[in-house]
Chain A
Amino acid sequence: MMEAKQRIVILGGGTAGWMTAAALSRFLPPHSYSIQLLESAQIGTVGVGEATIPHIRQFNQWIGLDESEFLKATGASYKLAIRFRGWGQANSDYYHPFGLSGEDLYGLPFHQHWLWLQQQKTTSLKDYGQYSLAVLMAQQGKFSRPAADLKDPSSSFNYAYHLDATLYAALLRQHSIAQGVEWLDGKVTAVTQHQNGDIAQLILEDGRQIAGDLFIDCSGFSALLINKTLQTGYDNWQHWLPCDKALAVPSEKAPAPPSYTSSKAMAAGWQWRIPLQHRTGNGLVYCSSYLTDSAAEQALMTGLEEQALAPARALQFVTGRRKQSWVNNCIAIGLSSGFLEPLESTSLYLVQIAIESLLQYFPSHPVGDIERELFNQKMQLEYLRVRDLLILHYKLNSRPEPFWQYCAQMAIPDSLAQRLEMFKETGHALEYRQGLFQPASWLALYLGQGLQPKQLDTRLGALDPNQLESWFSRYQYQLQQVVNAMPEHHQVLQRTELAGAAVAPAFSLYGHRG
């Protein structure tokens, strides 16, 4: 007898829904699984989510998306870093690059040497970012693909994209449908459950009933299945990340789109700028207790570098995470599973990790506790580790505005407090095996936002500062030579047909050396 197909229903056709559909349809054999994606044109999608981190390249490759096709279809530009202005202090300006800075020397991390030379008042010492290839490239508008050969200096960085979220979803839709996904338009108005709490059917406004065995909730902030139906609680993190509103507005394209996302601190939040090939995405993330909506709109519109193409769109959110992402036969992916503001462009990464974990721990019917537990643990760890780095941006500041003063004073999670304290004690940053951000990211922030350790590694005292200084100068000069030989970012963008020749992406924020 033929075994019945397992029915997978994805609710939601935003980026999360279509990324899930593309990946599941790529791997699950159609003779054993049917995949339906249901979305509501009437409700629409959140329509933002355009800055990414390098892992998206691996995702695209994983689902069989060619890079040139992707760049053309989504109007994407390359991204090497995030530039932070006004974070920490009103006049600060630093980059968090997708790459490493410097190299270990005499068995000690590069930043220890840099801090030590700074203490010695070494005159030729440059900003920390000047020892990072990715930062130099981003600042000088250059772009070239990273190398896989670890001896090549270009193996010390990675790149991501700025993309048009709506076009990306459309591209993924096209791929998914070609791979057998059934696409439905309709609005869910009711949900039925089995006795054990498992979701049985989605009832649509027009009376249709969609039955399934496994439901993926990609319904965005409404969290229709995971929360409204299954009532999974939410950990609210607003006391640590107090921004709760955003405005988004597209503007005309920049003549030479920079290869970095901009994040500029404002009086009660921050403003983003995401340059695409055909337009620029802009937005303001702010805390409504400290800034009125009209003042926010005014700040955003006056801060635009190009002409606005539409009125600003308002969004509201509660930063935090669903207590469990997988409950019964329902897995929440995307905004339905939690929200962390886009300061480090991590949301699509979290979507990607959820999809990969789902495939790794893919259940049989009925679902077992083990796969559910493993998935939930994995997602919790990823969220918490991203969360801590985001909080750090706010915590480390000496700005005068009341919002920033609140952030400087606020209590922070123990996990972050310990890391921060450790850096202050020793100047060291500890890596972790799982989770996104490694010491290179923490250091970019600590140093970029002006945190100085109380003491440095005492081994440094045995070194000759003059010798070290010349090494620094030589190293920086060599990096600059590599950058000089690179083409301009906007020229590379016009030659996207060469993109397919790229080396296999590294699954690290910092490239093959990272």
Chain B
Amino acid sequence: MQQPLVFIGHGLWLQMATAIVAKHLQPFGYPCIAIELPAKAKEPAAMAGGPELVTLCQMLGLPLQLVLARAQATFSLGSQYQSGDSSWFVPFGHYGLNAAAAEFEQAILQLLRLDANSKAEQFCIAALAASQGKFALAPANRPDLAEALSYGLHLQTAEFAACLKHYNQQLGVTFLSSQTVEMKYSAEGQISTLQLDNGTALPVGYCLDCRTEPAADEASHTVQLFCAQDTTVLLQQPHSSVLQTSWGWLVRLPLQQGSHWFSQCTDPTLELSHFRQELQQLTGLSEWQHSTRQQPTESQPWQLNHLRFGQAAATLDCPLYNGLNALQYLLIRWLDLLPNQSYCPATALMYNQHWQQFQSEVQDFLWLHQHPLATKTGQAFARLGRVLSTETDAIKAGQWFGLMQGLGLKPELRSMLLAHRTDTEIHQGLRQVQQQIARLVTAMPSQIDTLNRCLQQLSH
């Protein structure tokens, strides 16, 4: 008999962690117990997940149609950014039609250098489709398009959590609830039992801790959060929207029946009235909910048999990056390694190092939004137009490229791997791709049609 895996936390994060692990490990005889604790802060009403969320639903065997219906979900091909007069698209998919096409992005940069009227979006099927309100699932016989049209979802958090809870119950996960949970440790420092408020003491193999709040004595910083709900239906926008504000960024996630706005600020000196005024100017909405939360700083999520995944993922959670993606990464990576339930210090060390890598790549991406040239990544792009190699898939290559060129970084040097081609040859090659992309997008259905078709399939 395997030792039990005990999950603690609340809401979507708890359900997601339980679903991923239980799906993988229940068949191997691991008992899974989820302890629902009260939430210290309300979960945001809506969330945006990247392509990894879609992969996850496939892995769990959750039909997309069901998620769309239950969680009022819409599709997301990426994010449409707006900063002053300039706007650009940051896709999940890649530019061009062939992911492995050598130097394609460099060719785009070369064109942009010579022709101020050209835009990178013309060479990105996701961006073009998003701008026209189009969305289609790539046909099974076009795996190449599946990558270019990688998509995520916008969904209602509570409804998706309910859907996953039902799923977990069907898998045979035991659910308990408690107001508090107390950890009892063995002499070696491992969690031996979890004590609930009704006195139950649960033995623990691994404790998968999905709580997001830092403990009182742990390092954290305060962030201010603003959110609002908007009844405007934006089904012609299969993407998130990101607007620049004087303090950072404002994100809008469209759902089937309205949309949700989110923004956050880490500067404690800013006046609340100032926020509200600017938010109203930008959105026309006056009803903004404000809250503060403590953002943890967790770089060692695997400690003996205590897996502090919630806190670790929460270090990255913000309107521009959903911590749920990080949580998913932490879980999948751990499942890849989970070998036995005894103490594995070297494995935990390597795992934590990998996590730090993931964390720093996401932080780099977020930091780019504020100070593009203060990051190594931004400097390398501004000099050479290159996206640095990464050790994880935290941020997709198309996202790095889309963001940096959108932020206005113009590489000083041109690609020498294209130097043997004339500008005319490069233009011709790009134009061909552009025409192919335009033809494909013309033939694509609108997001509304695709959504309707998916929802009808479910009702049948």
Which residues on A are within 8 Å of B, measured CB to CB? Answer: 26-29, 32, 107, 359-364, 368, 370-371, 374, 378, 418-419, 421-422, 424-428, 430, 432-434, 455-459, 461-462
Contacts and interface: CB of A to CB of B under 8 A. Distances in A.
B28 A458 contact: yes
Given A27-B419, A374-B388, A459-B25, A418 B346 contact: yes
Contact of A457 (B339, B354, B388): B339
Interface in B10-60: 24-25, 27-29
Given A418-B349, A459-B338, 8 more contacts: A360-B416, A361-B386, A362-B415, A419-B350, A428-B337, A432-B391, A433-B390, A434-B391
A28 B2 CA distance: 62
Interface of B: 2, 24-25, 27-29, 336-342, 344-347, 349-350, 354, 379-380, 383-384, 386, 388-392, 412-413, 415-417, 419-420
Nearest to A378: B389
A362 B389 contact: no
Given A27-B416, A426-B344, A360 B386 contact: yes
B190 to A, nearest CB: 15
A359 to B, nearest CB: 5
A457 B2 CA distance: 12
Given A371-B383, A422-B346, A425-B347, A458 B420 contact: no
A78 to B, nearest CB: 25
Contacts of A461: 28-29
Contact of B417 (A360, A363, A433): A360
A370 B383 contact: yes
Contact of B419 (A29, A424, A455, A457): A29
A455 B347 CA distance: 12
22 contacts: A27-B419, A27-B420, A360-B415, A362-B413, A362-B415, A364-B413, A368-B383, A374-B388, A418-B349, A422-B344, A422-B347, A422-B350, A424-B346, A425-B344, A425-B346, A426-B340, A427-B339, A456-B339, A457-B338, A457-B340, A459-B25, A462-B28
A462 B26 CA distance: 10
Contacts of A457: 338-340
Contacts of A430: 337, 350, 354
Given A28-B420, A363-B413, A425-B346, A458 B383 contact: no
B384 A370 contact: yes
Contacts of B415: 360, 362
B347 A29 contact: no
A419 B350 CA distance: 8
Nearest to A356: B417
Contacts of B338: 457-459
Nearest to A364: B413
B417 A359 contact: yes
A361 B417 contact: no
Nearest to B24: A107
A434 B338 CA distance: 23
Contacts of B24: 107
Contacts of A427: 339
Contacts of A425: 339, 344-347
B352 to A, nearest CB: 11
B419 A462 contact: no
A456 B340 contact: yes
B27 A462 contact: yes
